[in-house]
Amino acid sequence: MTTAEGASQETYRLLWESPTAPRRGPKPTLTLAAIAAAGVELADEEGLAAVTMQHIAAALGVTKMALYRYLPGKVELVALMTEAAMGEAPSLDMAGWRPKLHEWARRLFAGLVRHPWLADTTVGARVIGPHELGWTEQAVAALIGTGLRGAEILDVVATLAGHAKAIAQQAAAAGAQTAEAGLTDAIGTMLRGREDRFPALVATLDALAREGGQDDALDFGLTRILDGVELLVTARGQGSDAG
Amino acid sequence: MTTAEGASQETYRLLWESPTAPRRGPKPTLTLAAIAAAGVELADEEGLAAVTMQHIAAALGVTKMALYRYLPGKVELVALMTEAAMGEAPSLDMAGWRPKLHEWARRLFAGLVRHPWLADTTVGARVIGPHELGWTEQAVAALIGTGLRGAEILDVVATLAGHAKAIAQQAAAAGAQTAEAGLTDAIGTMLRGREDRFPALVATLDALAREGGQDDALDFGLTRILDGVELLVTARGQGSDAG
DNA sequence: CAAAACTGTGTCCGTCGGATACAGTGTATG
DNA sequence: CATACACTGTATCCGACGGACACAGTTTTG
């Protein structure tokens, strides 16, 4: 895995160190920021699958191979796009760990809705950039002083981030096929004529249709999770103060 | 979208209807089940990216194009693989909605660990097969009679499934790069020399190293979520009985 | 002014999913 | 039993993908 290892180090340098401008030769027509921005725009409009070297190069008025003067390969491109799309981590000014985490998750969700492909690129073994790590820092910071252990803090953050990601992906999928129908329509088609095989599901979808109300899956899950965390924090015996 | 729509119907037929054996012509050398099994095995061993038409065909001793006699395209192949890997939904014999859901999530997690690529294929707009829908049915059934509304039931299930998926992906990523190091190693490298920029994260990782203990991220998150759900069920006023 | 360094381009390769045309094979019908 | 037809697997071809490589043009340094 010498190749992968070397590529990882190159990715690390791209994400964490400011690029050193060369002294000789023609001025570069592009910048890493411009390439990343083009990639983000393309991914937002046509999906991550549409992000190809040729498409980005065309959007920038350059040949495909010109991009390889700036990045070693597509992995690095996606990493830069991810960093650009995540943006600077938000500063959570409110008091108390719970409002902070709730707001943090909501902002993360907003970013994931704006850039649905982020859910795909922020998964798996990879080099993590300063922006992404900054988001984690903010959430962890909110939990310092709650009395939770280190592992518990990280688990809470992972749970919240996982929930935001899952709901964002679900929302993106629902918006892709029809206007508003989420599980209801897609599943409803298959349930027709099979009420005996999936009785609970059919009953629940019927109930859902009768309720008719607005369904905020993100906030619902966040409230449950944070309720559970609050129970643990209280049990730890010092749930009052928080940075 | 005539193409996509037609392909969806074809996928639906493949997943939900038993194949009709042809009357004339040579006997088929393959079966859908064998193709799906080959795909599952390949994905388990070398990842979803290694699942190509040619690889599967080679594993089955057939030309790539022969597969297209059985499936319209790769989307259908992945759908069949997903159904095969998910398997029949478990029957939850224990009493009480909470133990049922906890066990359900644990089994889902086990499946996701055995087939890490399932986290990628069970996302987005797609045709859902009977096995996958059966899993949802089981979880929903556990929540019938808790007094939760339809939307709330579906949200709870989505939250639990999202958590199992998120932790499974995290575990798969951690296992891929080193033996046991999850966030610790990968993030630790980048934090070195930047303690001032990510103080909370550094402190938490230090605490984690000092604790040294075993970290069950799945159960931790499940307990928090189910604690929160229990609060809601109790508030609804009839949290005692459950089918 | 020449050498060196750097940029962008053109060409080529292997692999991917898939369309199409064709040859071989087995069954139903005359 | 012979023939037509339905069905199978194969061979060939295509466009798009990520990427390697050699080359021509441009700018700075000696």
Q: Which of A106, A164, A130, A133 is nearest to A15 (CA)?
A: A130
For CA atoms A85, A106, B172, A154, give the dihedral sign: positive
Q: How many other β-carbons are positioned within 10 Å of the β-carbon of residue B201?
A: 28
Indicate if CB(B78) is under 7 A from strand C: no
A1 is written with which tokens? 């895995």
Answer whether residue B242 shows pLDDT above 60.
Answer: no
Give contacts of B217 with chain A, Cβ < 8 Å: 154-155, 158-159
Indicate if CB(A24) is under 7 A from strand C: yes
Nucleotides of D under 7 A from a protein CB: 5-12, 16-22, 25-29
Looking at residue B163, what is its pLDDT? 98
Nucleotide nearest to B24 (CA to C1'): C27
Report the run of H or E that residue B105 belongs to, with start and end: helix B97-114
Looking at residue A179, what is its pLDDT? 37
Rounded to 5°, angle at Cα A99 from A94 and A100: 65
In chain B, residues 150-179 whose CB comes closer than 8 Å to chain A = 150-156, 158-159, 161-163, 165-167, 169-170, 172-174, 176-177
Intra-chain end-to-end CA distance of chain B, in Å: 43
Looking at residue B189, what is its pLDDT? 77
Indicate if CB(B48) is under 7 A from strand C: no
Q: Flag whether residue A1 sits within 8 Å of chain B, measured between CB atoms.
A: no
Quick one: closest CA in A to B226, which residue? A228
Distance from CA(B39) to C1'(D6), angstroms, rounded: 29
Q: Rounded to an integer, what distance in angstroms lies between the CA atom of residue B175 and that of residue B178? A: 6
Share of chain B above pLDDT 90, in %: 74
The whole model's pTM is what? 0.93
Distance from CA(B26) to C1'(D2), angstroms, rounded: 19
Q: Rounded to an integer, what distance in angstroms lies between the CA atom of residue A156 and that of residue A102? A: 12
CB contact under 8 A, A125 and B174: yes
Whether the Cβ atoms of residue B181 and residue B163 lie closer than 8 Å to each other: no
Looking at residue A1, what is its pLDDT? 38
Print pLDDT tens along chain A (243 aa). 334 556 688 899 999 998 787 778 999 999 999 999 999 999 999 999 999 999 999 999 999 999 999 999 999 999 999 999 999 999 999 999 999 999 999 999 999 999 999 999 999 889 999 999 999 999 999 999 999 999 999 999 999 999 999 999 999 987 655 433 456 667 777 888 888 999 999 999 999 889 877 789 999 999 999 999 999 999 987 545 544
A24 to chain B, closest Cα gap in Å? 31
What one-letter code names the amino acid at B90? P
Whether the Cβ atoms of residue B91 and residue B107 lie closer than 8 Å to each other: no
Whether the Cβ atoms of residue A140 and residue A153 lie closer than 8 Å to each other: yes
Residues 6+ away with beta carbon under 8 Å from B216:
none
Looking at residue B9, what is its pLDDT? 82
A229 is written with which tokens? 């965390």
Answer whether residue B240 shows pLDDT above 60.
Answer: no
pLDDT in tens, B174-198: 765 543 345 666 777 788 888 899 9
Q: How many other β-carbons are positioned within 10 Å of the β-carbon of residue B20?
A: 7
CB contact under 8 A, B228 and A232: no
* Low-confidence winner among A4-13, B22-31, B164-173 (lowest mean pLDDT): A4-13
Is A98 or B22 the better-scoring residue by pLDDT?
A98
Q: Rounded to an integer, what distance in angstroms lies between the CA atom of residue A73 and that of residue A80? A: 11
Answer whether residue B52 shows pLDDT above 80.
Answer: yes
Q: Flag whether residue A136 sits within 8 Å of chain B, measured between CB atoms.
A: yes
Give contacts of A169 with chain B, Cβ < 8 Å: 123-124
Q: Which of A154, A187, A231 sits opposite B133 (nearest CB)?
A: A187
Q: How many other β-carbons are positioned within 10 Å of the β-carbon of residue B131?
A: 16
pLDDT in tens, B76-130: 999 999 999 999 999 999 999 999 999 999 999 999 999 999 999 999 889 999 9
Q: Rounded to an integer, what distance in angstroms lies between the CA atom of residue A182 and that of residue B152? A: 14
Q: How many other β-carbons are positioned within 10 Å of the β-carbon of residue B236?
A: 13
Is B139 or B243 the better-scoring residue by pLDDT?
B139
Give contacts of A192 with chain B, Cβ < 8 Å: none
Q: Which of B152, B172, B204 sits opposite A220 (nearest CB)?
A: B152
Share of chain B above pLDDT 70, in %: 90
Residues 6+ away with beta carbon under 8 Å from A162:
B162, B163, B165, B166, B167, B221
Looking at residue B21, what is its pLDDT? 77
DSSP state of B7: H
